[in-house]
Amino acid sequence: MNDLVESLKALLGGGAVLEGAEIAPAAFGWGRLGTPLAVVRPGSTSEVSAVLRLCHEARQAVVPWGGRTGLVEGTFADGAIALSLERMNGIVEINPEDATMTVEAGCVLQHACETADNSELFFPLDLGARGSATIGGNIATNAGGNRVIRYGMMRELVLGLEAVLADGTVVSSLNRLIKNNAGYDLKQVFIGSEGTLGIVTQAVLRLRPKPASQNVALLAVDCFDRLPRILRNAEKGLSGTLSAFEVMWEDFYRLVTTPPAQGLPPLPHGHPYYVLVEALGGDQADDSARFERVLAAQLETGQVADAVIAKSKAECGRLWSLRDDVVQVVRNAPVFAFDVSLRIGEMEGFVGEVREALMRRSPVATLMVFGHLGDGNLHLIPGVGSGDGEARKAVENIIYGALKKRRGSISAEHGIGLEKREYLSNSRNPEEIALMRTLKQALDPRNILNPGKIFA
Ligand code: ZN
């Protein structure tokens, strides 16, 4: 019997601590989680603090768990105490006048969005894992997703937060002011830190007015050079209402519009690129007219080869569902998932080089590419017919090698976790990594918070 686990049970009550056979049913996720020593489910910030105090004393590793939908093994918790925020899932307050919402860390993203919507407000973070991912996890990973081009990543959507440090100290920094330059902006230390510097327990989110109009179109484009021009024209012509510019390479578009995928192709196959464009605004009639005008101009000049504009909410949803149907990539399994960032002008050469190198390695290689082109963020899903470690390493060398030359980032939005830590120095210089280590050492000298993630 583990003394620490017994102390945690005495502290929280037996039902809040899962051990042995109780763990498996509670421990599902999108990636490898390992076998935790126990899963601990505190119900309040003071309980999180008490848990960390005990673990700090015992020098016990603690891995925070949210929705466990991350893709870089950031929640791998073998032998650690997995601290699940699932019971701390409430909306603490919504303030329409300030356009803020205070939530607990375990609040599911979709629930936060729906709550804002019910108050005629809008929380703009949107990503595929919306039904499981939690606000705490979105903060820990500085989540991005589909509307970053307009509203920014999680970093821009959080006004304040409360975090518990490794030794149990509660830092309540629940700022709700948009402008606050009174010293360091401490929330930013925790946002994107992947649970290595503190455990976020609450946050004040910045809300926006609920959009009164949504316009969505799918465009077919015949050469890459035209994509940045279409993007800049859309930004300019749509007067700040452009909220998504998602590009699907042809292979991906074909995959999500052929059975067994449910989606039908709104535009014929055969174009190299398909772009989902969305604008959110304040007046449906005016905004639709402008949206159509801007797209018509691009069709006339030949920048866009073909286009379809959604005529109803349901049609908007159907176009989005194609881009969202990422799960179809398992048809090429085994596959690997990459999430990279690079300048838009480098993308075509990068994807071409990667594709060629993959084909050279394996005649059965596949490469699905899609992503948030407006943010310089591509998702690559390569398959080389094998899922083993050697294949993975070879594919990593191909992709990160092609990326390094172009000074891109190995992680646009998924983070580093365990999966990419070996490549951190591809995207960060020695001084940057040394400063990261200084921060880690200062905040977590016993290295108990999500140890081994980001760097060894
Ligand atoms: Zn993404």
182 C-alpha vs ligand 1 centroid, how far in Å?
33
351 C-alpha vs ligand 1 centroid, how far in Å?
17
275 C-alpha vs ligand 1 centroid, how far in Å?
15
| 200, β-bridge pairs | 163
423 C-alpha vs ligand 1 centroid, how far in Å?
20
166 C-alpha vs ligand 1 centroid, how far in Å?
30
378 C-alpha vs ligand 1 centroid, how far in Å?
8
382 C-alpha vs ligand 1 centroid, how far in Å?
16
253 C-alpha vs ligand 1 centroid, how far in Å?
16
**pLDDT at 73 (0 to 100):** 94
**pLDDT at 14 (0 to 100):** 84
42 C-alpha vs ligand 1 centroid, how far in Å?
31
144 C-alpha vs ligand 1 centroid, how far in Å?
7
Residues in the chain: 456
The pLDDT tens digits of the residues spanning 409-446 come to 999 999 999 999 999 999 999 999 999 999 999 999 99
What domains are there in the chain, each with its CATH number?
2-84 (3.30.43.10), 91-209 (3.30.465.10), 213-326 (3.30.70.2190), 333-414 (3.30.70.2740)
418 C-alpha vs ligand 1 centroid, how far in Å?
19
**pLDDT at 31 (0 to 100):** 82
Tell me how far apart the alpha carbons of residues 422 and 399 are, in angstroms, rounded to a whole number. Answer: 14
12 C-alpha vs ligand 1 centroid, how far in Å?
37
Residues of the chain with pLDDT under 70: 1
**In this structure, are residues 276 and 246 in contact, taking their beta carbons and an 8 Å threshold?**
yes
Q: Give the position of tokens 């939690």.
A: 134
**pLDDT at 32 (0 to 100):** 87
**pLDDT at 231 (0 to 100):** 97
28 C-alpha vs ligand 1 centroid, how far in Å?
21
> What's the pTM?
0.95
**pLDDT at 24 (0 to 100):** 84
303 C-alpha vs ligand 1 centroid, how far in Å?
25
413 C-alpha vs ligand 1 centroid, how far in Å?
7
